[in-house]
Structure 1
Amino acid sequence: MYKLIAIDMDGTLLKDDKTISKENFDAIQRARKNNVKVVLATGRPVKGIEKYLKELNLIGEDEYAVTFNGAVVQTTTGNHIMAKTLMTLEDLHYLYNLSKELKVNIHAHTTEECITPKSSKYSVLEAELNSIPLTEIDFDNLNENTTIVKVMFIDDEKTLDRVIKALPKDIYEKYTIMRSMPYFLEFLNKNANKGTGVKLLSEKLGIKQNEIICAGDADNDKHMLKYAGLGVAMGNASDNIKEIANFTTKTNEEDGIAYVIDKFIFNKDI
């Protein structure tokens, strides 16, 4: 029996208009009543998913979220951090210098805000998407106690295509690197990813690996799909994610999460 389902947000739980369908909402509530722990696993900070947590009734000291692509695992109220895998200022300065060399925009997340040496429409979008402050600040003069959760190269799709090809080969040994959207390239601590986040949470909750479902659609979901007892790709997922998955469900526009819950948690013949 599955006891935990970790669900990605954009392109998975959310429809293209960023809403949760009634079918997905109802299925999640049925799973919760059946003592299945429902966890949102996202690249966003907890502030960026707060309205969805409230909508799904997932606010509480015994409710959890995997945020910042697994760098932070926390309760959904009280902001009690159960596990964190952060970056250093040295990482930020290295990536900042690289961004100048590659001529690409950059910003970083602290636990409270998005910071950037030069604001762009992509940083504005990130701040608005996550309901967090955006602060323009010189990265060379940051307070030494600044907490860096993740760093992002942010630019138009063609620019990021070029930048990815030009990245130093050894950079993949230093960081977890993922393209979460066409215009977002994320750098995290080498040990941080959604799979690690789900693993840390499940161990604290005493839930076995084979009792976990993870569902997603994009590159930043691959680690948790590999870790899960049942890794689920959305019908709209990229081909490499479908290859990793144990099962491909319907698309995010076709209530794919509800389909998974009904089929694998309630064993409905659908």
Structure 2
Amino acid sequence: MIKLFISDLDGTLLGDEHYIKQEDIHSFQWLLNRNVELAIATGRMEHEITEILRRMKLKGHRISQNGAFIYGQNDMLLHSETFTKSSADHVLHNIQEYPMITTISTATDTYTSEYNEWIDIINEQLFHEIIVNPNMAHELGQSIQPSKFTLHGSEEDITHVHQQLVHQFGKTVDIFISHKNVIDIMPPSINKGNSILALLDHLNVKPDEIACIGDSFNDLSMFAVTPNSYAMSTAHPDVQANAHTVVNHVHEAVDDLAHRGLV
């Protein structure tokens, strides 16, 4: 039986302009009434997950920034991971050659070194404003403790640049496409899959006792943890191919679990 349901946010639970379907909220409430706990696993920041849970009037475990931070539903910090100064300097130095917008996230804030019109577009997708700091590079590892580097660009550029980055950095960092316009660069072994395994160890829950749903390449490590994985029908075909079942909405995944007698 399923004891934990894990959902991605953007493109999965969260639609345009931060819209959440009432049917999805009701499905989460239905799960909670059957003692199935909820978790959110996303590339977004901890305070953004907290705001989304507040809007749904629900409690849940939180995996933010692709696993850099893990919080239990009782607000206990279970894990945190940031780049060392030397590794952060190395990453920033090597990604500056790409003609894309670079942002750096810490536990609480997101920074960029200079303002342009794309920053306003990115801000519209966030629950907080990006801080423009011309001294960002010099403050890495000091006043800025980076947990995630993000490259923002056109969909056409993302796949090409992602391949170059993987070749360039190898296994020294974790790199994945978290959105059609976004590449995330994380400390090594920081991904949704490993963070879920850490959460399961804390909860004493087995991988076959969870279900998860997502829509992007940063969800593949999550899909690999459990046989009960769901991909959104809007996901890239390669993402869909790695999930057990493809659905149109989050609540359809919950309905499928019920139909299979797992909740």
Instruction: Give the TM-score of the pair, scaled to structure 2.
Output: 0.89
Q: Deviations over 1:212-233 (max 9, x none)?
A: 1011111111100111231111
For residue 9 of structure 1, what is the aligned residue in structure 2? Answer: 9
> What's the CA shift for 1:163?
2.8
- Structure 1 residues 6 and 51: alpha-carbon distance in aligned structure 2, compared to 1, 3 A threshold: same
> Counterparts of 2:65 and 2:10 in 1: how far apart (Å)?
13
> What's the CA shift for 1:136?
2.3
CA RMSD of aligned residues (A): 2.3
> Counterparts of 1:9 and 1:168 in 2: how far apart (Å)?
25
For residue 71 of structure 2, what is the aligned residue in structure 1? Answer: 74
Supply the AA of the counterpart residue of 1:258. H
Structure 2 gap ranges (5+): none
Name the SS of the counterpart of 1:118 in structure 2.
coil
Structure 1 gap ranges (5+): none
> What's the CA shift for 1:119?
2.7
> Counterparts of 2:16 and 2:112 in 1: how far apart (Å)?
28
Name the SS of the counterpart of 1:12 in structure 2.
coil
- Of residues 96, 107, 116, the one that matches 2:92 is 96
For residue 25 of structure 2, what is the aligned residue in structure 1? Answer: 25
> What's the CA shift for 1:109?
0.2
| Residue 263 of structure 1 pairs with residue 261 of structure 2 | no
| Residue 139 of structure 1 pairs with residue 136 of structure 2 | yes
Aligned residues: 260
For residue 107 of structure 1, what is the aligned residue in structure 2? Answer: 103
> Counterparts of 2:158 and 2:256 in 1: how far apart (Å)?
38
| Residue 178 of structure 1 pairs with residue 176 of structure 2 | yes
- Checking the alignment, whether the CA contact within 8 Å between 1:177 and 1:187 is kept in structure 2 is yes
Identity between Structure 1 and Structure 2 (%): 21
- Checking the alignment, whether the CA contact within 8 Å between 2:17 and 2:125 is kept in structure 1 is no
- Checking the alignment, whether the CA contact within 8 Å between 1:75 and 1:82 is kept in structure 2 is yes
Name the SS of the counterpart of 1:153 in structure 2.
strand
> Counterparts of 2:4 and 2:35 in 1: how far apart (Å)?
9
For residue 82 of structure 2, what is the aligned residue in structure 1? Answer: 86
Supply the AA of the counterpart residue of 1:262. D
- Checking the alignment, whether the CA contact within 8 Å between 2:84 and 2:141 is kept in structure 1 is no
**Which moves more between the two structures, 208-217 or 97-106?**
97-106
> What's the CA shift for 1:13?
1.5
Instruction: Give the TM-score of the pair, scaled to structure 1.
Output: 0.87
Supply the AA of the counterpart residue of 1:222. L
> Counterparts of 2:116 and 2:74 in 1: how far apart (Å)?
31
